[in-house]
Amino acid sequence: MIDLHCHILPELDDGARSIGDSVAMARQAWEDGIEAVCATPHIRHDHDVHIPEIAARVAALQGTLEVERVPVRILPGGELAQSAAIALTPEELHCVSLGGAGGWVLLEPAPGPLGDELTAVVDHLAGLGARLIVAHPERHAGADLHERLTALAAQGCLIQWTAEFVLHAKPGDLVLRYAKDGLVHLLASDSHSALAGRPVRLSESFTRVGEVCSADEVHWMAEVAPRAIVAGETVSPPW
């Protein structure tokens, strides 16, 4: 498995508090069967993240994991805020693409329900050659969430839900209904620390999705799509 959304870089945004915390997060990942983690620091006005430094920070963490004998690959990326997206150049978009391959960008919607402004940003970024993954829609639920996600999917977006949110869903909850409707494309940890909050863990959540989706669909979500994404390849849900 590949975790496409994780704040594993130390002492950067609101993620890992130290290099030791980053190593502990990587160990959580390996214990869960996650072989690679995309480092996705916040790209937005309230975090002092310098895009040209991301690659070097990823390399430094990878070096530490090799010393600590934690066999998890750290891949570059970013969580690009809707509010910051218009200002980025094509070169900067390439730097924050998941896996660094220049294809897929993780887009964080503005606070509140999904709106027309997000659709406009998706169109703008697509015009620059980016393909978009919409992060954690569970935080942006309005009365028209289903219609908004359906429209985003029609624009070519993939929809990434938070693994822990899925894990704790009760039968009939929104996310499981949306999974049956084909609007759950990816799961990611969105972990910020091994010390508190969401762990770097995906396997149980994919098992939960398997209660309402076929084995082939879960395999696509967990294996096929993430590998294509970090390679910069075009991929779309087969259903």
Residue 237 lies in a domain: no
Residues with Cβ within 8 Å of residue 56, at least 6 apart in sequence: none
For the cut 90, the answer to whether the pLDDT of residue 46 exceeds it is no
Q: Is residue 101 part of a domain?
A: yes
pTM over 0.85: yes
Which residues make Cβ contacts (< 8 Å) with residue 90, sequence separation at least 6?
128, 129
pLDDT digits (tens, 9 = 90+) for 132-177: 999 999 999 999 999 999 999 999 999 999 999 999 999 989 999 9
Domain boundaries, position 140: 2-230
Residue 118 is assigned to a structural domain of this protein: yes
The total domain count for the chain is: 1
State the sign of the Cα–Cα–Cα–Cα dihedral 147, 174, 226, 124.
positive
Q: Is residue 194 part of a domain?
A: yes
Residues contacting residue 21 through CB under 8 Å, at least 6 positions apart: 10, 193, 194, 195
Question: What is the per-residue pLDDT across 52-81, written as a single tens digit (0 to 9) for each?
Answer: 999 999 999 999 999 999 999 999 999 999
pLDDT at residue 48 is higher than 90: no
9-45: pLDDT as tens digits: 999 889 999 999 999 999 999 999 999 999 999 999 8
- Cβ-based neighbours of 183, under 8 Å, separated by 6 or more: 146, 149, 150, 153, 159
* Residue 235 placed within a domain: no
Largest distance between two CA atoms of the chain: 50
Report the CATH number that the domain containing residue 22 is assigned in CATH: 3.20.20.140
**Residues 144 and 119 sit within 8 Å (Cβ to Cβ):** no
Q: What is the model's pLDDT at position 116?
A: 96
34 falls within a domain: yes
Q: Is residue 203 part of a domain?
A: yes
CA 72 from chain center: how many Å?
Answer: 17
In a domain? residue 220: yes
